[in-house]
Chains A and B, each alone.
Chain A
């Protein structure tokens, strides 16, 4: 019995937690492994500065879609409205630019926050399964975006005035990456330095117990959706800039899978209670490295992309399913 009790309590919390971080995050090993594999097979192409910058850019895009929804996944729910927020938020920026000028980019986080609030209230009060709810939300917003494009008679919803955002003040660090940093910082702060992160884990791990500890579960559930929407909105600015100051106008399910795959690869189980945005960042890096390296290899057909994405997601959820033992799954 006492073998399970670790003596020495908290002598070196930082070192202990650093070790825990590495031990508890297989994604770190995966990243190291991928780096070694690709830099030994295709060193010239993989390690070129152009490719490394591309990796950073793609990392920014992938992580910005996935970091926010991680907060909802902590609850054991799921939020896939990020595609809709990203797409239609961009359309709103385009629509409002003539009226608001450069400030219209701030529509993104506000819009995200509102959609998150809407999702959260509907999920908590009307008790709709979050996956169906947020998927329908994404679909509605995506079709709305395409509709805006169709009726306005342009090919893309581009706002050239933001071109100055594309210039990076720091060499080798592309501007989408820099624009992603605030979102990353906020999410890490929320997770580790406020009670929100703890509460969301508590609700995901044992909702009834969280209630007994005096937590207002419904409030924090809505808050999770709100932060999810807000962070996606804020992060979408980076994606907006990355795509050339425009937004996507046609819905592509493989983009939807990208966010989910980053979360699952990072090791936040779908059942909730564990993980967090830090893991999602690692997961996003794994995802980006896999696809970046894969298409540098000879004989890999980019037309088969969806096949690989599907297989990767499948593999990731099967590996992550170990954490779901014993739960009743629908």
Chain B
């Protein structure tokens, strides 16, 4: 029996879809009223696409880790390091520096996963430590200087216009689709949900929990690295400010999409919604000349409120 009016239970169950969708609509209306130029021209659309694309790639990776019930603090730092390696090595290696940057990112993901799976270190702590190392490494290889690359080929990676949109957009959508594919239709994706949903059950069902954890962290870091490469190409440089202010908006866009911090609930498909909301809000607020720091505060508050709303309390016995 279907009821015509949405029942209370239905509302509760779909809360993590309703909030982001209605939030997005309200946001669009609000921004349009506050600023008539918002999304008024194709140029402004392209600006938004540039702001969102590299971000979506990194957010997809973070979503996978959160779905698994862990947290990766090192995403922005790996992003920065990868951008830096790409920019520093580009003059000598050309595009061969891409595999180098990705390989280093993968190593970071492997170490993160290993620290959790093998040494039983809480993931936020392990990734906090590795993020410091990534930051330090970026500092060491660049000497702290901005590395500008003027080669047009370098820039073309992200900014070639295809059908009116820059190529970075297609890269991001491709990564997003790959992540959705990975989580929904492969056994590996099912295992990520299983580990996040019921760790003991996953073990008893014969899932190699350690392997799943390591692989997921590796995918996350790989995406972070890719995001860094695309971003470096977009801004034609690698510098120490890349990624510095990304952790809060990244985290916010994952939970705003409706992925619960406790793991096992949500999905990468939702993260696009979260990224749209956060980036549009960001650009809307900056158009209104609102201070960067205030924007960060807004994102932090949104993230916590959404975390409270989406956390799956039915499963929690003891919250640490």
Question: Residues 106-145 of chain A: 1 if any B CB is under 8 Å from the residue's CB, otherwise 0?
Answer: 0000000000000000110011111111001001100110
Q: Are B128 and A143 in contact (CB under 8 A)?
A: no
Cα-based distance from A308 to B137 in the complex (angstroms)? 10
Q: Does B119 sit within 8 A of A, measured CB to CB? A: yes
Q: Does A309 sit within 8 A of B, measured CB to CB? A: yes
Question: Residues 192-213 of chain B: 1 if any A CB is under 8 Å from the residue's CB, otherwise 0?
Answer: 0000000110000000000000
Q: Does B287 sit within 8 A of A, measured CB to CB? A: no
CB-based nearest A residue for B144:
A303
Q: Are B120 and A127 in contact (CB under 8 A)?
A: no
Q: Does A304 sit within 8 A of B, measured CB to CB? A: yes
Q: Give every chain B residue within 8 A of A329 (Cβ-Cβ).
A: 116, 120-123
Q: Are A133 and B304 in contact (CB under 8 A)?
A: yes
CB-based nearest A residue for B116:
A329
- Among listed B16-24, B220-228, B306-314, interface-contacting one: B306-314
CB-based nearest A residue for B248:
A139
Interface residues on B, range: 35 or more
Cα-based distance from A309 to B296 in the complex (angstroms)? 26
CB-based nearest B residue for A323:
B120
Q: Are A306 and B139 in contact (CB under 8 A)?
A: yes
Q: Are B121 and A324 in contact (CB under 8 A)?
A: yes
Partner of A128, one of B121, B124, B304: B304
Q: Are A143 and B71 in contact (CB under 8 A)?
A: no
Cα-based distance from A126 to B310 in the complex (angstroms)? 11
Q: Are A146 and B293 in contact (CB under 8 A)?
A: yes
- Among listed A11-19, A162-170, A237-245, A312-320, interface-contacting one: A312-320
Q: Are B140 and A310 in contact (CB under 8 A)?
A: no
Q: Does A328 sit within 8 A of B, measured CB to CB? A: yes
Which residues of B, 94-124, contact A by the 8 Å Cβ criterion? Answer: 115-116, 119-124
* Listed residue (B122, B303, B307) with the most chain A CB atoms within 10 angstroms of its CB: B122
Q: Are A307 and B139 in contact (CB under 8 A)?
A: yes
Q: Give every chain A residue within 8 A of B135 (Cβ-Cβ).
A: 253, 306-307, 310
Q: Are B130 and A310 in contact (CB under 8 A)?
A: yes
Which residues of B, 44-88, contact A by the 8 Å Cβ criterion? Answer: 69-71
Q: Are B297 and A144 in contact (CB under 8 A)?
A: yes
Q: In whole Å, how far is B97's beta carbon from the nearest beta carbon of chain A? A: 21
Q: In whole Å, how far is A274's beta carbon from the nearest beta carbon of chain B? A: 15
Question: Residues 293-311 of chain A: 1 if any B CB is under 8 Å from the residue's CB, otherwise 0?
Answer: 0000000000111111111
Q: Give every chain B residue within 8 A of A76 (Cβ-Cβ).
A: 320
Q: Are A253 and B132 in contact (CB under 8 A)?
A: yes
Q: Are B319 and A143 in contact (CB under 8 A)?
A: no
Q: Does B261 sit within 8 A of A, measured CB to CB? A: yes
CB-based nearest A residue for B318:
A207
Q: Are A321 and B133 in contact (CB under 8 A)?
A: no
Q: Give every chain B residue within 8 A of A314 (Cβ-Cβ).
A: 115, 126, 129-130, 133
Q: Which chain A residues have a beta carbon within 8 Å of chain B's beta carbons?
A: 75-78, 122-123, 126-133, 136, 139-140, 143-144, 146-147, 150-151, 207-208, 253-254, 256-257, 260, 264, 270, 272, 303-311, 313-314, 317-318, 321, 324-325, 327-330
Nearest 5 A/B pairs, CB to CB: A307-B136, A310-B132, A310-B133, A306-B136, A147-B293
17 pairs of residues in contact across A and B, judged by CB atoms under 8 Å: A78-B320, A126-B311, A128-B261, A130-B319, A132-B304, A133-B304, A139-B300, A256-B128, A260-B128, A310-B132, A311-B129, A314-B130, A317-B115, A317-B125, A317-B126, A318-B115, A321-B120
